[in-house]
Every structure is written in structure tokens, then in C-alpha cells.
Chain A
Amino acid sequence: MSVLASASPTFPVLPALILTPLFGALLVVLGPRRRPELLKLTAVLATVATGALSLWVLLAFDAGGEGFQFASRHAWIGELGISWLFGVDGISLFLIVLTGILFPIAILATDPGHDSRAYYAWMLVLEGGVMGVFASLDLVMFFLCFEIVLVPMYFLIGRWGHGNRTYAATKFFLYTMAGSALMLVGIVSLAFLHADATGGALTFDLVAIAEAQSIATETARWLFLAFALAFAVKVPIFPLHTWLPDAHTEAPTAGSVILAGVLLKLGTYGFLRFGLYLFPEATHHFAPVFLVLGVVGIVYGAVVATMQKDLKRLVAYSSVAHLGFIILGTFALNTEGIEGGLLQMVNHGISTGALFLLVGMIYERRRTRQIDELGGLQKSAPLLAGVFMVVMLSSIGLPGLNGFVGEFLVLVGTFNAHRWYAVVAAGGVVLAALYLLWAYQRVFHGPAEGDNADMPDLCLREGLVLAPLLALIVVLGVYPKPVIERMEPAVDALVEHIERHVDGFEEPTSRMGIDISPDGPLDGPADSEEGH
């Protein structure tokens, strides 16, 4: 699919973002079973085309524009007022681009080993579903895409995963499905109550419902909880996180990359779009709960990650901690916090995605992920060690790399809103340095013995796969302004929306302002020097 040829303003680019991977999946299913390289080529082309479309969305996106762009609407079940309603704003824009970039990388990076046809088909279906979640502005459509994502991921973990894959896959599916069971009831109730209150026809249009704010306060709080449960499982927020370490560890490399990079963001994105926007009062009301859980997640994730013996499980628990930061920023309810959270969603996708890729590469070479059995890899694979270090430092939040910008904004936002939470969360940054540096030290430093001594270094394909992620890590760390600029109108509008609909709420503002956000390296945490 040529992007240039179809670059007319009326081209329905968002439906195309969803349909291109699905069409690719269809091609893969119909493709020859005995020619996995051909299937892979098809899958790569489909994801690259989707990625190109998402970049086109990024370029064509009006940076200063408010509201939703590229909107399109087609009736689905007219009788119930459900329609295919799509649109992009600064909040979903970068998640769509992140999805567009991560999928081709995940597909290029690893081969499934068996049943290639089903593997690539499920990957492509997964991409279509994820794009659907980020682009949907109709509550039912959002729910459909939110749920359908489970099926491909379930099969990816269960069929191509490691040892305990069946258990992990089933746990993942049931946790998430049980979590979102009540959300459907919430969505339908919301639509009926909205229709009752406004006297209009039944509609599931997010913008119409959110702008009207027609639901009574008490009811809205219950509905918010129904939504929040689904998102909290998906994020996951402590104590609903127990599916995550299993799913991440047992998933195949590409599955872990997508799971951590994109799928977890469905929950945090859900909180922004369907929590804050739909139920501002309830979000404000319950914010302390989520702030506490966010902080607990940061500390708990970090502590548990420190204890891990399995490198992949360590990265998985580090996700729990990172997502705690995103939750903290989101529920700080000010521009810095939300922007930081959003940025952190993208950063976490890049850094943790890259970490999972690297762990997967080590596993392919050494057939183990036990930290004990690795050691001194730096000598045999200096390039791999170097890349790992950059990615790890970005995950820690070293200034100059992408992780810092997001965490800094989150901490600034939280500090302005709830000072002590920020203090505790900053401790989490130190802990992150502890467990990641310690893991790095054990895996890459020291004497290399046995198989560790002659482990091959990165090959060209692996280098090419990692290069874009590394570039993003550096670029977003040094010059995040273009990203923040595009996010800001949407985030400002969201904060204003909260101010407008919550009595007595005023944005906890900062005297620092967003404009002096770090363009260059500031003084980072002292202990980050130990990595060198």
C-alpha cells in the first residue's frame, strides 16, 4: 500500500491502520504453509505498511490542533447507536506510532520456530486490535478491540511460549477477561443513563457522553470503578499484577515485546481516555487510592525485581514499577503529570521492548535466562553489552536518555500535587538503578566461563532491529519537544475538562512550567555513575 499515493486528506487513514494488518493476516492464512520465509515477508510488509501509515498520521497531524483529527464514522449496529468511530488526538497519537514501530521490529527480530503461519497471522490480528483500541472513540468499539486483543495474545503465549506457557496464557486471559467483564456492564449502563438524562437517542459516542457529563455523581463513581477494574488489571496496578510476571516470562520474545511495549498501555491509555475524560469527578474522588497503589507498585515492583533470579522475570517486574510511575503521573491530574505519564508510556514501550529483545537474544544464544548461569558476557559480546547498557540506563532514567524526561515530568507533576508521593516515588528511581545495575553487573561483568566465554555477538539483523529503538532512546532523551508539543493541546484540554466538571478542583500547577523541561542533561541520580 503506497502512502504517498493515498495521501489525500479524505483518505480514511485510521480504518486503514486497522485493516492493513488484518488484510495481512488474511494473506498469511491463505499463504503456503511450507514457506515460512514467504509468510514472514508478508507479515513484515504488512506491519511496515502499517508503521508507514502511522508515521504518515504523525506527520499529517496538526500539532496545535485541538480535538480529534482524522475522524471517521460508520454505523455498525444502528439500532443500538453503535458506530465505527475513529479519531486521533495528542494522547493517542504517539501510542499509535509506538505500535506502528514496535510491531515490525518484533516480527523481524525473532522467528517462531514452528507453525509460522498461525504465528504471523496472530501477530497481525493483534496489531489490528491494538490500533483499534487506540483509535476508537465509540465505547463499544473500544471494548470490542480491548477484548479481542486477548485472543491473539493468548495463542501467542500458549503456543510459542516457554516452559509454563499454558498456565501463563490461561491466567493472562482469565484475569483480563474477568477484569473487563464489569466494564461492558458499565459501558452499557452509561449509554442508557446518558440517553435517559439527555432525552436523546442511545449513543456510545465517547465525546458526546464525556462532554455532556449527564450522570449523577454517585452513579458516575460506580461506573468509574467498573471501568477502572478493567484498566487496573490490564496495566496492571498492584495488587492485580500477578498475571504479568508469568505472561511476560513465558511469552515468546516478540510476545513479551508487544505485551510490555503496547498491551500494558491499553490500561494506562484507558485510564486517561475513559477514566479522566469520561468521569472527571470520580477520577478526582478516587485519585488518592490510585496514587497510593501507584507508589506501592513502584516500590514493590522494584523490590521484587531485585530478588529475581530470572533475567526476563526481572524485566517483567521492572514493568510493574514503571507502570506505577505512569499511574502516579496520570492521577496527579495536572499537565506535567499526565504528559509525563504519556511520555513514560512511550518510553517504557521503547526501553522495555528493547530489553525484552536483548534478553531474548541472550536466551537464543545461551538457552538460559538464569542470572546465575550468565556472567562476563561483555567479553564475548561487547556490542550486545553496550546496547544493553544504553537501554538499561534509559530504563533507569538516566538524564539524556528518554526515560529521564518522562520520569522527571511525572515527579514534577506529582510533587506539585502531592509532595510526599513524589518523594517516595523518587526513591523508586534509586531502586531501579539498584536492580538493573546489579543485574547488568552479574550478567555482563566478571569472568566469563564455559559457554559464556564464546557467546557470539550481535549479528547484522539484530543490530538493525535494535538501531531504531536506540535512536529513539537518544532522540527522545535529548529533544523531546516535538513530542511534548503535540501532546500538550490534548492534555491541556483534558485538564481543563477536569477543572470544568469538578467543583472546587484547580489544577495543581507548577511554578516551573513545562517550557523548562529538560532539553539537555541535568544532574541525575548520583548512583547512575556506577554503570560505567
Chain B
Amino acid sequence: MFAQAETVATPEVLWWALVPLLVLAGAAVLLLTVASLVRRLPEWLPAAWTIVAGLAVLVSVVPLWNEVQDDGARSFLAGAVGIDGSTLFVTALLAVAVVATALLSRAYLTREDLPGVELYVLLLLSAAGGVVMASANDLIVLFLGLELLSIAVYVMAALHLRRIQSQEAALKYFVLGAFASAFLLYGIALVYGATGATGLARIAGYLSTTILLEDGMLMAGFGLLLVGLGFKVAAVPFHAWAPDVYQGAPTPVVAWMAAGVKAAGFAALLRVFVLTFGSWSGEWQPAVWGLAILTVLGGSVVAVVQTDVKRMLAYSSIAHAGFLLVGVQAASDRGTAAVLTYLGVYTLLACGSFAVVTVVGGAGDDRHGIDAYRGLGARRPWLAGAFAVLLLGQAGVPFTAGFVAKFGVIAAATEGHSYALAGIAMVSAAVAAFVYLRILVALYMEDRHLEDDDEAGAVEVDPAPWGPRIVITVSVALVLVLGVVPGPLVDLAKDAVPVLVGG
């Protein structure tokens, strides 16, 4: 791609389509440069900068969306990068998650007395990686995006200097993540070996027109890609890192992992499996079917026995990944739209829930036991009420956005005649409900005996700073509004179904 002589034609670049990516990457580099040049940066600046960048991405997505809806999807850079509805949908979700994480981080860093700039730079870079994944039209580009996203998150997990759990989490995440990357890369190599291409459009074309006499290499490639991406979205049995990392990492970073990393991971799963390997769906669907069942059941059942709220939410996030896999397994437009809807809803739920956890965690970020939530309903009615809404949303209770999300994937699975999968998913949703009920019980139903020894038993929760307050308010409001009026989100997700365009 580096033109050394004038005669070499450089590939066409649609600069306008790269605006979100450029904003994120540019903002990261600029912030890093300014921070290293200016000795004392105002404390609020990095957060504000990140928020502005996130909002700018959100704004820039709107004209691009209209363009793509009117004139169809494009691909450029020699077919390596594409832009379509799903790219922009996921980009917007990532931008929302960036803004939410930045809002949480500012309060968190102040409270924990941690140095500020790195977190925001890494956050922006990680989001840029996510955008690359969502727009990848080539397996190599996908891998680049994944690494950019992941490496930034490894470092973010370690950012709490004084908490040993934070360091431990980062190391675990890094070692296992490196393994997963190796799997993914090997999978890419095998798929290349089987099809002779890394471009998604060319692979799809090859697979739909060619009958392979020997498909062992391709199958192995599918398997390894599934392992690699399954690790990123924390699907059982590749989930072992998630609870430890969620528990140890700084809580705002966990919000980003749950919302941002998951969205990017599923965008990649949709692009690679549903879109590129769509003509071979009969071969990979059973594997995703098994993965989905293990993930919904595993996540829900193990969550029940946890006593640490962050770990509960980690396992519940695994269960959510299982529901998303149910949508992927459908391998249909409806399934894809359902996954995108679910991602949108889960971004809200995750950001809001971890915002509450950030607030309750208190100085030192270690009050995450369920005891810390006991009687919160009486002492902090609004905070507890907001958490209750978010938990009911996660449980998929009607008239919250969580129900709309679950309904979508169940409908997609049923349409694809995966009745057993839909049934098992719903039953494990009922199991998972127990987890949320346990937190609700702590919030509301165990306050009376605390009144006797208020001093000893009740954990005092500091008033929420405005950052988390905004995140909680907006997410709760949207969870309720989208629960009653889900039409707009469902329609957006339907228009966001990805398409492959050859280069």
C-alpha cells in the first residue's frame, strides 16, 4: 500500500466513510501528544475531550447512515474495508459506550486519586479498534482491529495501580487474550488456505460457487475463528477470564468491556459467520448452537452462586452473550437484526448497571459484596430504584428494553425452527432472574433488621458524582422508553443488517 513510485496505483479511499474512525484515532493521538507536552493539564480536560470525540462520532454517523441507506453499502481500500448499516450501528453503540465510560472514569479517577490521561487515550484507541472490526471487509483487517481493541483493554484493566486484583485481572486477560488471538490468526490462515482469499467478499463468493472435495481445512478454520471470537465475547467454555477480569478491573473499564468489547466482538461474529460463511451455515450452526446453550446455561447457573455483585454481573454478561449467540445461530436477517437490537439494549443496561456499581463500590473500588447493597432502597431510593429498573431490564421483564431484546432473538431462533434452543434460553433466563432477584432482595427487603445496628451493618454510599448520575439517568430512561416504544430501535436494527460488497 505504500506507493514508492508514481506508477503504482493506490487503492481508492472513501475518506468520508472513515470519519468516525479518524475522529477516534485522531482524538487519541492528539490527546496523548498534548498531555505529554503540557505539564499540568486541567483535570477535566481529558474526559471532556473524550466525551466530545464520542459525541462527534455519534453526530458523524447520522449523515453516513443516510448515505448508506440511500445509496447502499460500499467497500474501499481495495475491498479491505466496508461501510454498511451494521458498521454504523455498531459504531454508534461504541460511541455511546465511550461517552458513558468517560463519564464514569472521570468520577472514578478523582475518587481513586489515579493519574488521568492514559485511560482516555486507551479508551479512544480501543473504540477505534472496535470500529475497525465493525467495518472490516478482510480477515486481516478484522484481526488488526481486534488487536487494537484488545491490547488497549488489557492495559485499561491494569490501570488501578494500587489494587493487586487489577494487575492480576490484566495479566489473566492478556495471557488468555493472546492465546485467543493466536487461535483467531491460525483460523484466518486455514480459511485462507482453503479458499485462497482473506477478503470477506471473495471468501463468500468462493464458498457459494465452489464445491470443496476436502473441507477439513475450512472446518478447522471455522472452528478456530469461532474459538477466537468466542473468547472475545466470553462464550462458555471460553469465558473463564471474564469473572476474574470483571471483578478485578476498574469498574468503568468493566462497563466498557461489557458494552464496547462485546458489541465489537459480535459485529465481527456477524460479519464473519453469518455474512461470509452464510452459504455454509449448515456446517457452523450446530457449533454455535452448542456454544449458545452452554453460554446461556453456564452464565445463568453459575451466576446464582456468586456473592460478589461484580461477579454476578460478569456471569450475567456471559448469559447475555449466550442470548446474542442464539441470534447469531439463526443465521438470518432477522437473527442479525435481533443481535443488533440486543447489543443496543445491552449497551444501555451494562453502562447503567456498572455505573451503579461504580458508585456503590466506594473509595478503593472494593465494596462489591452483596452486603454493600443491603438496605440501599431505604437509604438511597433513587439509586436503588434505578438499579432495580436496570436489573429488571437485564432479567427481560416486559415493558423494559430487555424484553424487546430477548423477544427478538427468541423470534429469530423460532423462525429458524430452533425451538429447543429458544426454550432452553428462556428457561435459563428464568434461572438468571434469580440472580437479579437476589440483588433486589438485598436492595429492598432486608433493610429492617439493619435499623437496629445501623452503624455497624449499613455501608454508607457516597452521593453519586454527576458523571455516573448522567449515565444512570439516561440509561434508565432509555431502558424504560424503549421498553414501551421499541419501534425506533427495532426499525434501525432492521435497516442495519450488514451486506458484503466486493472490492
Could you give, for residues 16-28 of chain B, a 1 whenever the CB lies within 8 Å of some chain A CB and a 0 otherwise?
0000000000000
- Are B430 and A178 in contact (CB-based, < 8 A)? yes
Give, as a whole number of angstroms, the nearest-CB distance from B245 to chain A. Answer: 29
Q: Given A166-B446, A192-B414, does the pair A77, B487 have CB atoms closer than 8 Å?
A: yes
Give, as a whole number of angstroms, the nearest-CB distance from B475 to chain A. Answer: 19
- Are B414 and A170 in contact (CB-based, < 8 A)? no
Instruction: Find chain B residues with CB under 8 A from A159 CB.
Output: 444-445
Q: Is residue A78 within 8 Å, beta carbon to beta carbon, of the partner chain?
A: yes
- Are B426 and A185 in contact (CB-based, < 8 A)? yes
- Are A184 and B445 in contact (CB-based, < 8 A)? no
Give, as a whole number of angstroms, the nearest-CB distance from A203 to chain B. Answer: 13
Q: Given A76-B487, A79-B490, A144-B403, does the pair A182, B426 have CB atoms closer than 8 Å?
A: yes
Give, as a whole number of angstroms, the nearest-CB distance from B371 to chain A. Answer: 15
- Are B441 and A166 in contact (CB-based, < 8 A)? yes
A192 to B334, CA, bound (A): 12
Q: Is residue B422 within 8 Å, beta carbon to beta carbon, of the partner chain?
A: yes
Give, as a whole number of angstroms, the nearest-CB distance from B348 to chain A. Answer: 18
- Are A143 and B490 in contact (CB-based, < 8 A)? no
- Are A147 and B397 in contact (CB-based, < 8 A)? yes
- Which of B404, B415, B431 neighbours the largest number of chain A CB atoms within 10 Å of its CB? B415
A170 to B446, CA, bound (A): 13
Interface size band for A:
20 to 34
Residue B398 contacts which of A77, A78, A79, A144 (CB distance < 8 angstroms)?
A144
Question: Chain A's interface: helix, strand, loop or mixed, by majority?
Answer: helix
Q: Is residue B350 within 8 Å, beta carbon to beta carbon, of the partner chain?
A: no
Interface residues of B in 86-110 (CB under 8 A from A): none
Could you give, for residues 307-319 of chain A, a 1 whenever the CB lies within 8 Å of some chain B CB and a 0 otherwise?
0000000000000
Instruction: Find chain A residues with CB under 8 A from B404 CB.
Output: 77
Interface residues of A in 75-93 (CB under 8 A from B): 76-80
**Of all chain B residues, which has the CB nearest A167?**
B441
- Are B445 and A158 in contact (CB-based, < 8 A)? yes
Give, as a whole number of angstroms, the nearest-CB distance from B377 to chain A. Answer: 8
13 more A-B residue pairs beyond the given contacts A77-B490, A145-B398, A174-B437, with a C-beta to C-beta distance below 8 A: A77-B487, A78-B487, A79-B491, A144-B403, A150-B397, A151-B397, A166-B441, A173-B437, A174-B433, A177-B430, A181-B430, A185-B426, A189-B419
Q: Is residue A169 within 8 Å, beta carbon to beta carbon, of the partner chain?
A: yes
Closest 9 CB pairs of A and B: A181-B426, A144-B398, A178-B430, A188-B414, A158-B445, A185-B422, A148-B398, A177-B430, A147-B398
Q: Is residue B72 within 8 Å, beta carbon to beta carbon, of the partner chain?
A: no
A77 to B430, CA, bound (A): 24
- Are A185 and B410 in contact (CB-based, < 8 A)? yes
Interface residues of A in 184-237 (CB under 8 A from B): 184-185, 188-189, 192, 226
- Are B410 and A148 in contact (CB-based, < 8 A)? no
> Could you jot down 29 A-B contacts, CB within 8 Å?
A76-B487, A77-B490, A79-B490, A80-B490, A147-B398, A148-B397, A148-B399, A154-B437, A154-B440, A155-B444, A158-B440, A158-B441, A159-B445, A166-B445, A173-B433, A173-B437, A174-B434, A177-B433, A181-B427, A182-B426, A182-B427, A184-B410, A184-B426, A185-B414, A185-B419, A188-B407, A188-B410, A188-B422, A192-B415
Q: Is residue A40 within 8 Å, beta carbon to beta carbon, of the partner chain?
A: no
Instruction: Find chain B residues with CB under 8 A from A348 CB.
Output: none
Could you give, for residues 419-431 of chain B, a 1 whenever the CB lies within 8 Å of some chain A CB and a 0 otherwise?
1001100110111
A79 to B497, CA, bound (A): 14
A189 to B426, CA, bound (A): 13
Instruction: Find chain A residues with CB under 8 A from B494 CB.
Output: 79
Instruction: Find chain B residues with CB under 8 A from A486 CB.
Output: none
Q: Is residue B392 within 8 Å, beta carbon to beta carbon, of the partner chain?
A: yes
Could you give, for residues 133-153 of chain A, a 1 whenever the CB lies within 8 Å of some chain B CB and a 0 otherwise?
000000010011101101100
Q: Is residue A322 within 8 Å, beta carbon to beta carbon, of the partner chain?
A: no
With an 8 Å Cβ cutoff, the count of chain B residues facing the other chain is 32
Q: Is residue B486 within 8 Å, beta carbon to beta carbon, of the partner chain?
A: yes
Give, as a whole number of angstroms, the nearest-CB distance from B494 to chain A. Answer: 6
Instruction: Find chain A residues with CB under 8 A from B411 CB.
Output: 80, 188, 192
Q: Is residue A165 within 8 Å, beta carbon to beta carbon, of the partner chain?
A: yes
Give, as a whole number of angstroms, the nearest-CB distance from B444 to chain A. Answer: 6
- Are B445 and A169 in contact (CB-based, < 8 A)? yes
- Are A158 and B434 in contact (CB-based, < 8 A)? no
**Of all chain B residues, which has the CB nearest A150?**
B397
- Are A170 and B422 in contact (CB-based, < 8 A)? no
A185 to B424, CA, bound (A): 10
A165 to B491, CA, bound (A): 42
A356 to B29, CA, bound (A): 69
A155 to B392, CA, bound (A): 12
Q: Given A158-B444, A174-B430, does the pair A185, B437 have CB atoms closer than 8 Å?
A: no
A192 to B422, CA, bound (A): 14
A154 to B494, CA, bound (A): 35
**Of all chain B residues, which has the CB nearest A158?**
B445
Instruction: Find chain B residues with CB under 8 A from A189 CB.
Output: 414, 419, 422
Interface residues of B in 407-462 (CB under 8 A from A): 407, 410-411, 414-415, 419, 422-423, 426-427, 429-431, 433-434, 437, 440-441, 444-446
A332 to B419, CA, bound (A): 31
Instruction: Find chain B residues with CB under 8 A from A226 CB.
Output: 423
**Of all chain B residues, which has the CB nearest A219?**
B419
Give, as a whole number of angstroms, the nearest-CB distance from A266 to chain B. Answer: 14
A181 to B410, CA, bound (A): 11
Give, as a whole number of angstroms, the nearest-CB distance from B493 to chain A. Answer: 10
A170 to B399, CA, bound (A): 20
Instruction: Find chain A residues with CB under 8 A from B430 CB.
Output: 174, 177-178, 181
Instruction: Find chain A residues with CB under 8 A from B398 CB.
Output: 143-145, 147-148
- Are A77 and B423 in contact (CB-based, < 8 A)? no
Interface residues of B in 368-407 (CB under 8 A from A): 392, 397-399, 403-404, 407
Give, as a whole number of angstroms, the nearest-CB distance from B446 to chain A. Answer: 7
A148 to B403, CA, bound (A): 11
- Which of B398, B423, B444, B491 neighbours the largest number of chain A CB atoms within 10 Å of its CB? B398
Residue B399 contacts which of A144, A181, A188 (CB distance < 8 angstroms)?
A144
Instruction: Find chain B residues with CB under 8 A from A170 CB.
Output: 434, 437, 441
- Which of A140, A145, A182, A184 neighbours the largest number of chain B CB atoms within 10 Å of its CB? A184
Could you give, for residues 108-148 of chain A, a 1 whenever the CB lies within 8 Å of some chain B CB and a 0 otherwise?
00000000000000000000000000000000100111011
A151 to B446, CA, bound (A): 18
Q: Given A158-B441, A170-B434, does the pair A181, B429 have CB atoms closer than 8 Å?
A: yes
- Are B433 and A184 in contact (CB-based, < 8 A)? no
A78 to B494, CA, bound (A): 12
Instruction: Find chain B residues with CB under 8 A from A144 CB.
Output: 398-399, 403
Give, as a whole number of angstroms, the nearest-CB distance from B187 to chain A. Answer: 33
**Of all chain B residues, which has the CB nearest A29?**
B385
Give, as a whole number of angstroms, the nearest-CB distance from B107 to chain A. Answer: 27
Give, as a whole number of angstroms, the nearest-CB distance from A129 to chain B. Answer: 9
A150 to B395, CA, bound (A): 12
Instruction: Find chain A residues with CB under 8 A from B487 CB.
Output: 76-79
**Of all chain B residues, which has the CB nearest A155?**
B444
Instruction: Find chain B residues with CB under 8 A from A155 CB.
Output: 444
Instruction: Find chain B residues with CB under 8 A from A185 CB.
Output: 410, 414, 419, 422-423, 426
**Of all chain A residues, which has the CB nearest B438?**
A170
A154 to B491, CA, bound (A): 33
Instruction: Find chain B residues with CB under 8 A from A181 CB.
Output: 423, 426-427, 429-430
Residue A151 contacts which of B392, B423, B434, B486 (CB distance < 8 angstroms)?
B392
Instruction: Find chain B residues with CB under 8 A from A174 CB.
Output: 430, 433-434, 437
- Are A184 and B437 in contact (CB-based, < 8 A)? no
Instruction: Find chain B residues with CB under 8 A from A166 CB.
Output: 441, 445-446
**Of all chain B residues, which has the CB nearest A148?**
B398
Give, as a whole number of angstroms, the nearest-CB distance from B323 to chain A. Answer: 13
Instruction: Find chain B residues with CB under 8 A from A158 CB.
Output: 440-441, 444-445
Give, as a whole number of angstroms, the nearest-CB distance from B299 to chain A. Answer: 16
Instruction: Find chain A residues with CB under 8 A from B434 CB.
Output: 170, 174
Instruction: Find chain B residues with CB under 8 A from A165 CB.
Output: 445
Instruction: Find chain B residues with CB under 8 A from A169 CB.
Output: 441, 445
Give, as a whole number of angstroms, the nearest-CB distance from A407 to chain B. Answer: 35
A333 to B113, CA, bound (A): 72
